[in-house]
Structure 1
């Protein structure tokens, strides 16, 4: 189910919450992402039990094989597997050598962060794009603590940045700096008129690229609001889920789910454009229960359709709201990270 935001109390002062998050809710800084290094225990990225095919490392993966990485060669000894003989070294030295392998104890964690124009919206605490970055940071820091390699894609409808999986802290910082830089560039672009078709096509293309980057056995996180999801994008995601563990984090804002309450009827203008002459201008009446219910039902229908498509594609869904601190939602158990 999608979140409904609880009513504000005196303790829920937005500025106090923003200060705690080291954020202004709109822009993104490396400092606010680094703070999640101490919050990594909030989640658990253990491989899902439904994955099949054992590897020699810590995880159950969809890929088949020994799950071993080449380490070194040494002289052949009685009892060594003849299939591991290194014939090139043997021919060069004139003595039989065998390959040694080490257990594979890490897996790639790919994080795809959607910073499209629709993500630059927030009605209460954070922009959806900022919350998406917080989720990505938390996943990255936890993956690092497990010894996994971190990489992925940061994209919008204009450009994307690919980051090959890296191990240790450098992998995390590489991704976080890419998030901050891409977020700043996307924020500038978000003031331009929104081309819906371009945004949907770009989303499809980035899902296709993620499909190429995701090696069998990888853990793949897609963080988005789902507004640009198409059937073609779903097809790419379904292909990813056949060989990898796919988790889709859907970021929402309360205003996208239901209209604000009003004791009196107020007419407001809304637009999908970037100024007062934007396209798709409409009038809404706040305080009209019938209109509010219709708005809510339409939003829930769109959410349900999107969830159904993603679930059929084999994705596990997690929902996060931009109007509440990430750790508050996790502590309350809103998202089922712990298996």
Structure 2
């Protein structure tokens, strides 16, 4: 069995801070994720036609004489009136589809018990999506946020888009302050900002632990989903599902940065209550996302990203 030190070495990571090397590593792993459109999706795009290559949709190319079998909805009435002969609009499909990453690096994400902080895994996932997007020729934009900071990456293409994202990820993660607190307002505000930044027809990845997801935030995500394809990636840690197993009983002091409690590890009743509480929270969170029409996928911070994505890909075959 590969131990944690070997895993961190392979990831070029120390688990708590970000480096250029560990984010550039995902340039070679773009096969792990599929950015193809998951569903036919209508957006308020020019011409009102649907492109199978989600992006700006169908761009006007030329007008020509109407032929039998042409869609009557594509008739160019202005040219028809001017020439006296029926003309139809010809559109060409644009393959570019903007990809937008909304990444949470706030206080609750600065937590990890086995391999990586959740924020580090979120950064790895962001880098993988980014490299995959530019490899496909898509433009890449992002909004990264903590409780009191946000960084916007304007949509760009090619390698410079990923490098700009990696730079902002490293700065925001490595400059974390202990004074930051959990804030539902920060998450809601970030989603509201994303509504203004995301272009219709985009593929949007929301990467967070959703610890502060509430109805207002879910409403913003639902609004995004009306004109774009939105996927949520929930970063979790094993400790958030169940208390660790220990020999005998042991009292430990825990805090979320605001409140401090004493837990009794090794007590079956305490473990059961904790497990039920966490399951209830997960159900409520996924239900909010489901009601908003948002697909949710869980990613653990305790295992290298490629291991999880390979297993998930294998289970779908």
Q: Same fold (TM over 0.5)?
A: yes
Corresponding residue for residue 285 of structure 1: 264
Q: CA distance change for structure 1 residues 77 and 204 in 2, over 3 Å: closer, same or farther?
A: closer
Which stretch of the first structure deviates more once superposed, 155-164 or 17-26?
155-164
Structure 1, unmatched stretches of 5+, are: 1-10, 71-75, 85-99, 274-278
1:333 match: secondary structure = helix
Taking the aligned partners of 1:133 and 1:261, their CA distance within structure 2 comes to 29
- In structure 2, relative to structure 1, the CA distance for the partners of 1:181 and 1:292 (3 Å cut) is same
1:335–1:149 distance in 2 versus 1, CA, 3 Å = farther
Q: Does residue 130 in structure 1 map to residue 114 in structure 2? A: no
The Cα of 1:49 is off from its aligned counterpart by 2.1
Count of residue correspondences: 296
Q: Which residue of 1 aligns with 2:219?
A: 235
Aligned to 2:278: 299
Query: Post-superposition shift, 1:12?
Result: 2.8
Instruction: Evaluate the alpha carbon distance shift between residue 132 and residue 69 of structure 1 in structure 2; reply closer, same or farther with a 3 A threshold.
Output: farther
| Partners of 1:58 and 1:106 within 8 A in 2 | no
2:118·2:235 contact (CA, 8 Å) conserved in 1?
yes
Distance apart, 1:35 and its partner CA: 0.5
Q: Which residue of 2 aligns with 1:67?
A: 58
TM-score, normalised relative to structure 1: 0.80
Corresponding residue of 1:165:
155
Question: Could you say if the C-alpha distance between residues 283 and 78 of structure 1 is closer, same or farther in structure 2, counting changes exceeding 3 Å?
Answer: closer
**Preserved CA contact (<8 Å) 1:108 1:150:** yes
> Is residue 155–residue 161 contact of structure 2 (8 Å, CA) maintained in 1?
yes
Asked if 2 retains the 8 angstrom alpha-carbon contact of 1:222 and 1:248, the reply is yes
The structure-2 alpha-carbon separation of the partners of 1:306 and 1:78, relative to structure 1 and needing over 3 Å to count, comes to closer
1:326 aligns with 2:305: yes
C-alpha separation between the residues in 2 aligned to 1:270 and 1:175?
Answer: 34
* Cα pair distance change 1:60/1:108, threshold 3 Å: closer
Q: CA RMSD in A?
A: 2.7
C-alpha spacing 1:56/1:156, structure 2 compared with 1 (3 Å) = same
- 1:192 alignment partner in structure 2: 179
Q: Distance between the aligned counterparts of 1:111 and 1:14, measured in 2?
A: 28
Distance 1:83-1:214 versus aligned 2 partners, 3 A rule: farther
What are the ranges of 5 or more consecutive residues in structure 2 without an aligned counterpart? 67-75, 80-89
Q: Distance in 2 between matches of 1:77 and 1:270?
A: 69
Cα pair 1:52 1:60 within 8 Å, conserved: no
Of 8, 11, 17, 2:7 maps to 17
> What SS does the corresponding residue of 1:332 show, helix, strand or coil?
helix
Q: Deviations over 1:255-291 (max 9, x none)?
A: 1111110120111111223xxxxx4221111111111
Deviations 1:180-218 (A, max 9, x none): 111122x2x1x1262x4xx21111111001011122111
Structure 1 counterpart of 2:22:
32
Task: Report the TM-score when normalising by structure 2.
Answer: 0.86
Report 1:80-159 matches (<5 A): 103-159=93-149
